[in-house]
């Protein structure tokens, strides 16, 4: 059973748009964001470029300690290292989980050269348990300057993302709506 937040003060809403930038709404404020390059979809599949539709808890925060200070948050927070990755291999037992390198399956490196993963909110999508092939590595992370679409994540300006972290709790959820 999916647990959801009961207060709008802790719930995050994402409104995807086709003809303009998507919007993230939190604590009564609107923020520009980007979503998957193929929009938002109820029946997400691995590699389809869509952001999953639904209401999901936020599990934890990951961050680059060489680029930002430890974020202020009520969520579990973990510093990344150069050997951290996320398994996106549907044939592997560690599918949709954080892993350490070297790793035998397909993965996404979390220690990136760009700043997109300087801070990551891990969204509780397809993780309890992870089921193949419904998608992996769904995060809220930093956007590009021009809010380029993602492969399925939600991306916000780094400054905005860091500013909302202190207000996100273990009861916070993210409600990703369909067009």
Hey, what domains does the chain have and what are their CATH numbers?
11-176 (2.40.440.10)
At residue 47, the 3 state secondary structure works out as coil
Which helix (H) or strand (E) element contains residue 86?
strand 84-87
Q: What is the pLDDT, as a whole number, of residue 18?
A: 63
pLDDT interval class at 10 (50, 70, 90): confident
Which helix (H) or strand (E) element contains residue 57?
strand 54-63
Q: What is the pLDDT, as a whole number, of residue 178?
A: 87
How confident is the model over 129-145, as pLDDT tens digits? 999 999 999 999 999 99
What is this structure's pTM? Answer: 0.93
Neighbours of 34 (CB within 10 A): 21
Phi, psi of 68 (to 5 degrees): -140, 155
Instruction: Please determine, for residue 5, whether its predicted confidence score (pLDDT) is greater than 50.
Output: no
């Amino acid at each position: 059973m999916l647990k959801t937040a009961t207060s709008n003060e802790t719930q995050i809403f994402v409104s995807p748009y086709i003809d303009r930038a998507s919007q993230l709404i939190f604590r009564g404020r609107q923020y520009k964001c980007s979503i998957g390059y193929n929009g938002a979809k109820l029946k997400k599949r691995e590699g389809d470029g869509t952001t999953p539709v639904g209401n999901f808890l936020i599990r934890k925060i990951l961050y680059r300690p060489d680029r930002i200070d430890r974020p202020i948050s009520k969520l579990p927070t973990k510093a990344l290292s150069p050997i951290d990755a996320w398994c996106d291999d549907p044939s592997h037992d560690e599918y949709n989980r954080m892993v350490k390198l070297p790793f035998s399956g397909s993965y996404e490196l979390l220690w990136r050269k760009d700043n997109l993963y300087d801070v990551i909110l891990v969204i509780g999508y397809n993780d309890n348990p992870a089921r193949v092939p419904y998608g992996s590595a769904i995060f809220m992370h930093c956007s590009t300057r021009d809010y380029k679409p993602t492969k399925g994540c939600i991306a916000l300006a780094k400054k905005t993302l860091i500013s909302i972290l202190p207000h996100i709790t273990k009861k916070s959820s993210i409600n990703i709506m369909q067009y």
